[in-house]
Amino acid sequence: MAIADIPTTPRATVRVARQPAPRFGARPQVSGPGMAALTAWVDEIAALTRPDRVHWVDGSRAENDALLREQVAEGKLLKLNPEWRPGSYLARSHPGDVARLESRTYIASEREDDAGPTNNWIAPDEIRATLTPLFEGSMRGRTMYVVPFSMGAVGGPLSHIGVQVTDSAYAVTSIGVMTRVGTEVLQRIADGDDWVKTVHSVGAPLAPGQADTAWPCNDEKYIVHFPDTLEVWSFGSGYGGNAILAKKCFALRIASVIGRNEGWLAEHMLLIRVIDPAGRAYHVAAAFPSACGKTNLAMLRPTIPGWRVETLGDDIAWLRPGEDGRLWAINPEAGFFGVAPGTGESTNVTAVETLWGNTIFTNVALRPDGDVWWEGLTDEAPPHLTDWEGNPWTPDSGRPAAHPNSRFTVSAAQCPQIAADWDAPEGVPLDAILFGGRRATNVPLVVEATDWTHGVFLGSTISSEKTAAAEGTVGELRRDPFAMLPFCGYNMADYFGHWLKIGHELRFDRAPRIFQVNWFRKGADGRFLWPGFGENSRVIDWIIRRIDGEVPAVDTPIGRLPRIDDLDLDGIEVPEADLDELFAIDRDSWLAEADLTEEFYASFGARLPAALHAELASLRYRLKTTA
C-alpha cells in the first residue's frame, strides 16, 4: 500500500456520505421456547428506536469482514498497511468520547442502600423516564444489530450469555473480538437459558439524506445498570466499555450481582498459570487498579531461569467454589481490550507481539507508512506522525500523539504465551490470589494474609496514592477495594460480606492463599526500591514456595513477610538498605492508616461486616503491643 493511500484527514471533522447497509446474514433459523421472548424483546427495542433495518449477527468470518469493509467505505475505520499490520484498522473517536464515564454510570436498584455509597444510584422509574425519550427514534437511518454473545465458552459451567442490540458497527466488530458471538449462543437462548439484556445506541439518528459523521455520538451520555432485572442501557457513547456492554457492564457490574445471587464472584482480575522449573503448575488470580502493573503481570516473562508464565486472562475472572472445596476460575472474555500508551518492547514485549495483526486500534497515532504508534511503543518517537485526531504531529508538538486512553482490541488467542487451555469451560483451580495498589509508602513488597478473613480485609483496604506530589504522604489515598470500586454492581459492604461467605464454602486446606503485593514502594530519595516488571517473578517464586510449605514466614502486625534470605535475588542488584526499606513497618504510619481505614469503613454504616471491624481492631492491637 502506498503512503498516499493512507488517509490523514482529521476524524473529528470528517463527514461521510451514508452507504447502503449491507444485505448479509439473514436471521438464523433457530427455534425453541426461549426464542419467542427474545424476538418480542428485539421487536420492542426496534419499535422504540426506529432503525431502518434489523440485522441478526451470526458471528461468521464473512459477516465480520463485510462489516469492516463497510466501516472503511464509510470512513469510520482506516485500514492499516497490511505489510506492517495485516487485518488491522484504526478508529479515531470524537474528542468528547474517549473514555469510560464513571460520572455518567448509574446503578438503578430499587433501593438506594442496595447500590451503596460507592456507586451513583438513581431510581429505576426516574432513569427510565429519562432514557425512554432519548432512545425513542435514536436509531433512525441506521441498522440495529442484534448480537447474541457468551461470556466464557458457550455452554460452559461457569459461563453466562447475553444479547446486545446496538446501532454501532464498531461495537459489533469489537464484541466479536471480546466475546463468543453466533448462532450457537442463540440456540442456547432458544433452548431456555437465561440471558442478560443490553441495549446501546450512539444517539445520533440520521434524517433522510443526512450525511453521517466518522464517529457518531451524542453530547448526552448515560450508562445505566438495572441489577434487579439484569439489564444494561447505554446511550450517547460509542467508546470502549460504554459501547462493548459485555465487558465492564455485564462481566463485572451485572455479573457481580448474578454471582452474589448464585454464590460465585465476578472479579476485576488477571489470571495466569505459573510453571516452575520442575514443571509443576500453579494458578494465580490478581486484582490491581489501573496503572499498577496488571497487564504486565498477566503477560509476565520471568527473569528466573526455568520459570514460565502462561496467560489465561488479562482483566476479568469469574471465580466459583467447586465441589472439591477449591475455588475455580475462568476468563470470561475472548480478547484483550488494552491501554496502548506505555505498552512497549521494554515494558511488555508479549503484548506488542500479540498486536502483530487482526487488531482494532482506537485513538493511537498513524505513521506515514500506514502502521501505528503510541507513547511507550518505542523509546524514541518517529519524526512525523498523524496524531489521534488526524492532525500532523512531531516530537516538538507539545502534545501526545496518541490519546492517553487509546486502546487495542485483539483476540486473546494471538497472545504468544496464551495457555493452550485458556478457554477450557471448567476453568482452573486457584492456588493464590494477589491484591495490589500503587503505594510509595507503608505497604511492603509482599505480605501474606494469615487466613481468608484477613485476606478479605487486605483486599478491602487496597489503595493508591492519589498523585505523584502526594507520594510519601500517608493520608491522600485513592481507595479501590479489590480493584472493584468502579465495577461492583451492588453495595460494596455486601460485596465484602459475599467474599467472606465464599470463604466458608471452601475447604480451609484447599482455598487459595491470599497475598498483598506492592511493586511501587519508594525510598526517602524518591527512587523505586524494587526493579519490577520481569523481576516480579521473584515475588511469585516466594509465594509459590509458601504455598508448598518450603519456606517459613515472619509474623508481623500487618501479616506474614518473607525472610530476605528466602527471596531469590540471584542476578539482580538490590542494595541491602533497599531490601530493608521494602519490608519496613512504621508503627505510627500504620496506625495513621488504620484511622483512614476506619473512616472509609464508616461510609458503609451498619452494613459493613463485623469481621472486618474485628480485623481492623486486631491490626491496631498488634501494632500497639508488638515491640
Active-site positions read 292
Q: Which residues contact 451 (CB under 8 A, 6 or more apart)?
A: none
Residue at grid coordinates 493520608: 475
Dihedral, CA atoms, 40, 42, 43, 48, nearest 10 degrees?
130
What is the distance between the alpha carbons of residues 498 and 255, in angstroms, rounded to a whole number? 13
Residues 64 and 81 sit within 8 Å (Cβ to Cβ): no
How far is residue 613 from each of residues 268, 408, 476, measured CA to CA in Å?
A: 24, 42, 22
Strand boundaries in 316-473, DSSP class E: 317-321, 327-330, 335-339, 360-362, 365-366, 372-373, 385-386, 392-393, 407-411, 428-429, 432-436, 446-448, 463-465
What is the distance between the alpha carbons of residues 302 and 295, in angstroms, rounded to a whole number? 14
CA atoms within 13 A on the CB side of 549: 1
Q: Which residues contact 576 (CB under 8 A, 6 or more apart)?
A: none
What is the distance between the alpha carbons of residues 379 and 405, in angstroms, rounded to a whole number? 19
Instruction: Please report how the helices 35-49 and 124-135 are oriented relative to each other, as an axis angle in degrees rounded to 10.
Output: 70
Residues 236 and 222 sit within 8 Å (Cβ to Cβ): yes
- Among 371, 518, 507, smallest CA distance to 442 is for 518
Residues 301 and 350 sit within 8 Å (Cβ to Cβ): yes
Residues 200 and 165 sit within 8 Å (Cβ to Cβ): yes
What is the distance between the alpha carbons of residues 554 and 388, in angstroms, rounded to a whole number? 51
Helix/strand/coil for 443: coil
- Among 284, 223, 221, smallest CA distance to 254 is for 223
What is the distance between the alpha carbons of residues 71 and 92, in angstroms, rounded to a whole number? 12
Residue at grid coordinates 519490577: 532
What is the distance between the alpha carbons of residues 286 and 128, in angstroms, rounded to a whole number? 36
Element (H, E) at 166: strand 160-166
How far is residue 14 from each of residues 9, 10, 171, 390, 461, measured CA to CA in Å?
A: 7, 6, 20, 10, 47
Q: In what order do the strands lie in the sheet with 407-411?
A: 78-79, 89-91, 360-362, 407-411, 335-339
What is the distance between the alpha carbons of residues 75 and 69, in angstroms, rounded to a whole number? 10
- The string of DSSP letters for 285-327 reads EEE--TTSSHHHHHT---SSTT-EEEEEESS-EEEEE-TTSSE
* Identity at 512, one-letter amino acid code: P
* Identity at 258, one-letter amino acid code: I
Strand boundaries in 557-617, DSSP class E: 559-561
| Sign of the dihedral defined by the CA atoms of residues 171, 172, 173, 176, in that order | positive
Pairing state between β 195-201 and 160-166: parallel
